[in-house]
Amino acid sequence: MAAAASSTSLSSSISKNLSSPSAPLSSVIRPFAAVTPTYKLIARSCIAACFKNLNSEPLPLKSNPIGDYLDAASKYRDVKPLRATNAASDGNSDIHFSLDKPREECGVVGIFGDPEASRLCYLALHALQHRGQEGAGIVAVHDNVLQSITGVGLVADVFNQSKLDQLPGNSAIGHVRYSTAGASMLKNVQPFVAGYRFGSVGVAHNGNLVNYQSLRAQLEESGSIFNTSSDTEVVLHLIAISKARPFFVRIIEACEKLKGAYSMVFLTEDKLVAVRDPHGFRPLVMGRRSNGAYVFASETCALDLIEATYVREVNPGEVVVVDKEGEHNLCLMPHPEPKQCIFEHIYFSLPNSVVFGRSVYESRYKYGEILATEFPVNCDVVIAVPDSGVVAALGYAAKIGVPFQQGLIRSHYVGRTFIEPNQSIRDFGVKLKLAPVRGVLEGKRVVVVDDSIVRGTTSSKIVRMIREAGAKEVHMRIASPPIIASCYYGVDTPSSEELISNRMTVEEIKDFIGSDSLAFLSFDSLKKYLGSQSPNFCYACFSGDYPVKPNEVKVKRVGDFLDDGLNGSIESIDGGWVQARTEIDEKVAGSV
């Protein structure tokens, strides 16, 4: 990757130009005027490049480039979360377990400078629970020791009063996991903690590294022993083998070797570090509490819950180091190129969050309005597939002037694994989760709005359920373009060949799911709506154009809580499987 190559010069120059390898962070970062001209030049050019991608024009450099950088970031401060008064999201979505749809991703949180750090992490993880339900963990620092508690299941399953009592300290990081690499099992639950020769470090990661198999192979070749089968563990090894002394330079050196998606928080005895990959695939925001404590989180809904004020995003390619002297910022590489995941706005994030500087609620409402403008239909009622279709359905209904009603009621008590008692009982899963309201549907021409169609299995069951409840017509409207390619950046989508829109035309999908009509938000309209921000998003799932070429096969888990063994390579993971290569995958592999 060309960008990664250019970033190498940053960390090596930083290391080379530090007056003392053990210099405290303050002497390394703060007095920009005091550091060597080479370092200043590199820092200036990388900061200028950061501006370039976040604003249409690079900002003029003044005497303190870091100050400029912060000013540039402040444009995000104006964006206030729009409260989702009608959205039915409860943060407990998507809990039945199958591989036939996009799954949530992980959520991360970091707190620095609050005596209740681990309790605040715990609360923030509740707010982020929709991003991962396989496992949860918190690491806190107390008396210079990193203490960790992790467990499988939901946040409420893993933590209780006595567990939180075991995590005192002023700083902590936390994680909720949905696996993309490495089996769903205890040893892969984050945050991970490792000791290296200068201390201890904990990490929590949202995203997926597309080159971790080769990195792991290289590390194993030179003697590294891995404890987990997760991609995230390679980051700790890379930090440990770095020759640089200051911790943030170790992180920069490690990140320069990574390809793919990473929004990460690191914890050491005295620092909290937040890092976002140069494309900024996954979100990461920063906030402050009234006592001055720093908070980092995947979504602003976590800040809201713990009464932290949203300050700004951690920018793509930015490293934010927080220690007792305050906050220090660096760019990971000279040319960050934002490619933020559009699916965060379509499906993953909660509607009450501000993600990538935009309100998720506003985005979804607008997608619904656009769908209504482009694909209106004579109907009596507009309903949503709860929860992720609700806001788009509200926009659709308002635009065509037809009432929005709750035609499907969602059970919030379905566990994430359940056993279908007999394969002959069809649709049991979807019926367990969704129940039709006959009074709303009977004899009506119904528009059903959902956020996406992946394999088409859920949609066909929903259409049948609505018809069985007496609907006269069922018109499906999807508030995203057709998904034709698998995600390699932290969303666990099925392989491209399993995606229904990759195999069928819209007309064929309509027949497959059994609706009277079907329409998707058009890709062009989506980009038009995003306007000048459009190039800053990743649309790989809609286009097959991958910003970072995924040239390694995708390895996913299949069974839950299987032991994948402590020894052996990724290929030998029990219960893991290697994704079949599809035409798109071949095309991608061929283009690398």
Ligand X SMILES: O=P(O)(O)OC[C@H]1O[C@H](OP(=O)(O)OP(=O)(O)O)[C@H](O)[C@@H]1O
Give least dist CB 299 to ligand GLN, A.
13
Q: What is the DSSP string of 43-68?
A: HHHHHHHHHHHHSSSPPPP-S-HHHH
Is residue 464 within 8 Å of residue 427, measured between CB atoms? yes
Give least dist CB 281 to ligand GLN, A.
10
Give least dist CB 357 to ligand GLN, A.
21
Smaller CB separation from ligand GLN, 53 or 211:
211
| Distances 314 to 105, 318, 325, 356, 443 between C-alpha atoms, Å | 18, 6, 19, 9, 51
Q: Is 34 exposed, middle or buried (0-12, 13-18, 19+ CB in 10 A)?
A: exposed
Smaller CB separation from ligand GLN, 68 or 105:
105
Calpha distance 179→492 (Å, rounded): 8
Smaller CB separation from ligand X, 43 or 385:
385
364 binds ligand X per the rule CB under 6 A:
no
Smaller CB separation from ligand GLN, 131 or 477:
131
User: Which positions from 386 through 425 interact with ligand X, judged by CB under 6 A?
Assistant: 387-388
Binding characters for ligand X, 456-485, by CB under 6 A (x = yes): xxxx--------------------------
* Interface residues toward ligand GLN, by CB under 6 A: 105-106, 177-182, 188, 205-208, 230-232, 490
Give least dist CB 384 to ligand X, A.
10
Active site residue 106: yes
Q: With CB under 6 A as the contact rule, which of the stretches 173-181, 285-293, 295-303, 451-459 interacts with ligand X?
A: 451-459
Adjacency order of strands within the sheet including 263-267: 192-196, 199-206, 263-267, 272-276, 318-323, 326-331
Residues 6+ apart with CB under 8 A from 121: 109, 110, 111, 138, 140, 172, 173, 174
Smaller CB separation from ligand GLN, 178 or 396:
178
Q: Is 527 exposed, middle or buried (0-12, 13-18, 19+ CB in 10 A)?
A: middle
Is residue 564 within 8 Å of residue 576, measured between CB atoms? yes
Catalytic residue among 46, 106, 341, 541: 106
Supply 139's token pair.
């690491």
Supply 320's token pair.
């934010």
Task: List the one residue from 450, 492, 498, 585 that touches ligand X (CB under 6 A).
Answer: 450
- In the block, tokens 């979100």 appear at 283
By a kind-dependent CB cut-off of 5 to 8 A, residue 150 interacts, out of ligand X, ligand GLN, none, with none
Supply 178's token pair.
């949905």
Q: What is the DSSP string of 374-436?
A: HS----SEEEE-TTTTHHHHHHHHHHHT--B---EEE-S---S----S-TTSTTHHHHHHEEE
Give least dist CB 33 to ligand GLN, A.
39
Give least dist CB 94 to ligand GLN, A.
13
Backbone angles phi and psi of 588, in degrees to 5? -65, -50
Smaller CB separation from ligand GLN, 232 or 480:
232
Q: Of 165, 20, 157, 103, nearest to 556 (Cα)?
A: 103
Smaller CB separation from ligand GLN, 49 or 267:
267
Q: What is the CA radius of gyration of the chain?
A: 24
Backbone angles phi and psi of 34, in degrees to 5? -85, -15
Supply 452's token pair.
């996406």
By a kind-dependent CB cut-off of 5 to 8 A, residue 126 interacts, out of ligand X, ligand GLN, none, with none
By a kind-dependent CB cut-off of 5 to 8 A, residue 177 interacts, out of ligand X, ligand GLN, none, with ligand GLN
Q: With CB under 6 A as the contact rule, which of the stretches 332-340, 354-362, 380-388, 572-580 interacts with ligand X?
A: 380-388
Give least dist CB 557 to ligand X, A.
17
515 binds ligand X per the rule CB under 6 A:
no
Smaller CB separation from ligand GLN, 178 or 296:
178
Give least dist CB 433 to ligand X, A.
7
Supply 36's token pair.
């060597």
Give least dist CB 36 to ligand X, A.
52
Smaller CB separation from ligand GLN, 123 or 264:
264
Calpha distance 347→339 (Å, rounded): 17
User: Which positions from 79 through 98 interact with ligand X, judged by CB under 6 A?
Assistant: 93-94
Smaller CB separation from ligand GLN, 42 or 176:
176
Q: With CB under 6 A as the contact rule, which of the stretches 308-316, 448-456, 486-494, 560-568 interacts with ligand X?
A: 448-456
Task: List the one residue from 455, 467, 556, 557 that touches ligand X (CB under 6 A).
Answer: 455
Supply 252's token pair.
């920069």
54 binds ligand X per the rule CB under 6 A:
no
User: Which positions from 97 through 156 interact with ligand X, judged by CB under 6 A?
Assistant: 100-101
Task: List the one residue from 385, 465, 474, 570 that touches ligand X (CB under 6 A).
Answer: 385
Residues 6+ apart with CB under 8 A from 137: 148, 149, 150, 151, 158, 174, 175, 189, 190, 191, 204
Give least dist CB 223 to ligand X, A.
42
Calpha distance 217→234 (Å, rounded): 10
CA 522 to chain centre: 23
Smaller CB separation from ligand GLN, 129 or 232:
232
Task: List the one residue from 448, 453, 471, 491 that touches ligand X (CB under 6 A).
Answer: 453
- In the block, tokens 């990193």 appear at 146
Helix boundaries (H) for 258-314: 300-305
Tell me, by CB under 6 A, how many residues bind ligand X: 18
Is residue 361 within 8 Å of residue 87, measured between CB atoms? yes
Calpha distance 496→475 (Å, rounded): 26
Q: Is 425 exposed, middle or buried (0-12, 13-18, 19+ CB in 10 A)?
A: exposed
By a kind-dependent CB cut-off of 5 to 8 A, residue 498 interacts, out of ligand GLN, ligand X, none, with none
By a kind-dependent CB cut-off of 5 to 8 A, residue 277 interacts, out of ligand X, ligand GLN, none, with none
By a kind-dependent CB cut-off of 5 to 8 A, residue 73 interacts, out of ligand X, ligand GLN, none, with none
Write out the residues near ligand X by the rule CB under 6 A: 93-94, 100-101, 347, 385, 387-388, 450-459
Task: Write out the catalytic residue numbers.
Answer: 106
